[in-house]
Amino acid sequence: MRIGVLLLPADPWPQTVARARHLESLGYTHLWTYDHLSWRRYRDQAWHAAIPWLTGLAAATSRIRLGTMVTSPNFRHPVTLAKEAMTLDHISDGRLTLGIGAGGTGFDATVLGGTAPTPRERSARFAEFVEVLDGALREPAYSHRGPHYAADEARTYPGCVQRPRVPLAIAAGGPKALDLTARIGDGWITYGDPNGEDKSGAAIEAAVRAQSAQLDERCAVHGRDPSTLARYILTGDTPDRPLASVDAFEDFAGRYERLGFTDVVFHDPRPGDPVLTDDPKIVEAIAERYF
């Protein structure tokens, strides 16, 4: 099981660089951040843009993989994102994983002046977003015209360091997004059923098990070996507290590894944050146990 850490892009830059380098020195496999223009309780606090933030960390580190958890169609176009991802892949020397999601219904959904899309509209937009992003990253010259996006001979030279393109990890919970993951994705991201009322560890695990089975079925439909997909479980703000102790984390990671997951990602504890309240020392303790 590979282990990664999600850092909020909310700290002064020297502190961020020091933290990223420390996580790399501890042996963590990957480091992620959220892609929002503003986010929840940090709406009126410091919050940096994901791609420049990761670009800076690519220059400040040498081994740890970097990723978005996850990029949002709410305020992005797939052609410009493809160019930025390709460039970041070069700066990081092939260490980028591009996490992609459908875009939420929070502040980012209306910040550009439009109305928040319906679930059906979000789903259709997301499918086209991923397809255009995939094409623009793979093809040196790419054209597309659809209901949500257009591209006219978009150029992505010299192409990605990673071939045929940077890995795409798709956040998916419903049938359409899981099918999209099976068709196009290199990885799958989940944290359970986002609409489920029961947030207990057992309920989340049951939801993830059902999603995983459905993903396997869609892989079979598309003639794909499901083992070719990386599977990321993101820990959340739930009663199931995998960072309460090293043993709790080991139990959590072991349960999901038995479900076929290859990677687990947890939020870096933040003193003063009302949600990410775990003891920061757990990060070193987990590294000592695993690395």
Average pLDDT, the chain: 96
pLDDT higher than 80, residue 137: yes
**CATH classification of the domain holding 268:** 3.20.20.30
When mean pLDDT is compared across 235-239, 246-250, 286-290, the lowest value belongs to 235-239
**Residue pLDDT, tens place only, 261-272:** 999 999 999 988
pLDDT higher than 80, residue 1: yes
Model confidence at 238, pLDDT cuts 50, 70, 90, reads confident
Model confidence at 107, pLDDT cuts 50, 70, 90, reads very high
* Percent of residues, the chain, with pLDDT higher than 70: 100
Contacts of 69 (CB under 8 A, 6+ apart): 6, 32, 33, 34, 35, 99, 171, 189, 234, 265
**Residue pLDDT, tens place only, 162-210:** 999 999 999 999 999 999 999 999 999 999 887 778 888 889 999 999 9
pLDDT higher than 80, residue 237: no
Number of domains composing the chain = 1
d(CA 219, CA 109): 31
**Residue 265 exposed, middle or buried by CB count within 10 Å (0-12, 13-18, 19+):** buried
What is the per-residue pLDDT for 236? 78
* Percent of residues, the chain, with pLDDT higher than 90: 92
**Residue pLDDT, tens place only, 94-104:** 999 999 999 98
Model confidence at 212, pLDDT cuts 50, 70, 90, reads very high
**Residue pLDDT, tens place only, 40-87:** 999 999 999 999 999 999 999 999 999 999 999 999 999 999 999 999
What is the per-residue pLDDT for 177? 97
What is the per-residue pLDDT for 193? 83
Taking residue 154's Cβ as centre, other Cβ atoms within 10 Å add up to 21
Domain that holds residue 230: 2-290
**Pairs from 195-200 (Cβ < 8 Å, separation ≥ 24):** 199/236, 199/238, 199/239, 200/238, 200/239, 200/240
Give the C-alpha distances (Å, rounded to integers) separating 261 from 47, 233, 269: 31, 7, 23
